Chain A
């Protein structure tokens, strides 16, 4: 994350600003009254604002939500990260999958793919470290850890095979 500079403006409020990766300076002026101003600095005269967008409390909420949502999905995408050849992923269990309705031992998923199912999300409930006699059901989400290839194979098995 870029370093955010914080400046006290006596009698007005606090100004926060930072330089984006592309080199534009962007800021937010938080007035003491709760009003916000979105500041975009000029590239020719870097001390002046090229654009100032005035936001009331509602507008601030809307903008934060718009920016925040994409931020959350980015973070989720990041979670499927590769850690030294390992992949962690959330895989749905399909209705006509062979393994649906069978225990983990019966379907022998780990033996076939080399991928461990470390947890299962069922509705609002999370079952950590399911044992061999745990039965997968349609609509479950399996949290799996393994190689990228193994994860792909497991994804196929949980969907149909």
Chain B
């Protein structure tokens, strides 16, 4: 306990933690200056400071580890909060074909790479998840920054993100259950139990979500924030105890909260999530020895190149189905390339279960590449490919 510690130790913890947060602040500032996502910068920060890195952290590592657990919980809570149950349900029919193509086209390269590397079946499934899921955080910020939210191809992009959100509701519990089993076969019964639990919770959440929202509702921002946070942590804790994974519990709480509480809660939780998610990415980097990245660099680069292409195909096809012209299809495709927080979350499940030592480094290198290349491609590729006339000719009035 911090409070039981000697004053000298308290001073050390505070100073070290302060320096870490200041370091993160500098990285976030640099990322913002370059209009890039801070996620790869935090990862690199963790690589530099952590195991086998330049500097070694002493006491604050345990604190960062706890912060990182909270970070995963808050990331999944906000993922659940992002869409209302009507949006999830309403999108299902329209988005299903593109959502299925998304899964097949983008999970397959990860699965094949895992098989080729001769990994454990569970690590193979995790790598498929890593290459499948786009970063909804990076992409929504990207679309807003590029003033593309109003574009007519944007609904097809958002629809895919919503489908991925729904897919996570099934994928995460399955993976969590598989990881507790010790092997793929031993995990199967707990998969069935996990899926049944999730289906039950989802059903109750979508039908009677109003009850939870009503109970949490308060005019005071403080009361609402603490209420949502407390509920999420308790559910996440219980879920972890039941071997369903804390992340899944937090995600389900996010989905169950709806209505007016949903919007305010996501606004209030946002800054906290940014803080703890930074701790999570840092911690993920801390656990990886930079020298482990060298042997997996080729695999990560090949995977990044292939799955950047498959995301472009997915976005292109989804936009085409909505009657969007070629430039718009390319914008939709390139916008989807970015991978980020959820690829790391999925890889993190495997790392903490200790199944495949190379999974962490591959995922880190992969996300480093695509979290940077994705936004850059989305910004510049459509402009490069479509030559635009210098200035549009004004139409004479009254014609």
A-side residues, CB < 8 A to B, are: 7-12, 15, 22-23, 27, 29, 32-33, 37, 39, 41-50, 52
Contact = CB atoms under 8 A, between A and B. Distances in A.
A11 to B, nearest CB: 5
Interface residues of B, number: 33
B133 to A, nearest CB: 15
Contacts of A29: 149-150
Contacts of B314: none
A27 B140 CA distance: 20
Interface string B239-281: 0000000000000000000000001000100000000000000
Contacts of B150: 15, 27, 29, 37, 39, 49, 52
Contact of B91 (A10, A49, A50): A10
Interface of B: 82-83, 87-88, 90-91, 136, 140, 147-155, 158-159, 161-162, 263, 267, 324-325, 327-328, 331, 386, 388-389, 392, 395
Given A42-B392, A47-B151, A11 B161 contact: yes
Contacts of B152: 41, 46-48
Top-8 shortest CB links A-B? A47-B328, A39-B150, A10-B87, A47-B152, A52-B147, A29-B150, A11-B82, A10-B162
Contacts of A8: 87, 90, 155
A50 B324 CA distance: 16
Given A11-B161, A22-B395, A49 B82 contact: no
A22 B398 CA distance: 8
B382 to A, nearest CB: 9
Given A10-B88, A10-B159, A11-B136, 5 more contacts: A10-B83, A15-B155, A45-B386, A47-B324, A48-B151
A44 B326 CA distance: 12
A16 B154 CA distance: 13
Given A10-B87, A12-B158, A52-B150, A47 B392 contact: no
A129 to B, nearest CB: 45
24 contacts: A9-B154, A10-B88, A10-B158, A10-B159, A11-B82, A11-B136, A12-B140, A23-B395, A27-B150, A37-B149, A37-B150, A39-B150, A41-B152, A43-B392, A45-B325, A46-B325, A47-B151, A47-B328, A47-B331, A48-B148, A48-B327, A48-B328, A49-B151, A52-B147
A120 to B, nearest CB: 42
Contacts of B388: 44-45
Nearest to A34: B263
A30 to B, nearest CB: 11
A32 B140 CA distance: 14
Given A22-B395, A46-B152, A9 B328 contact: no
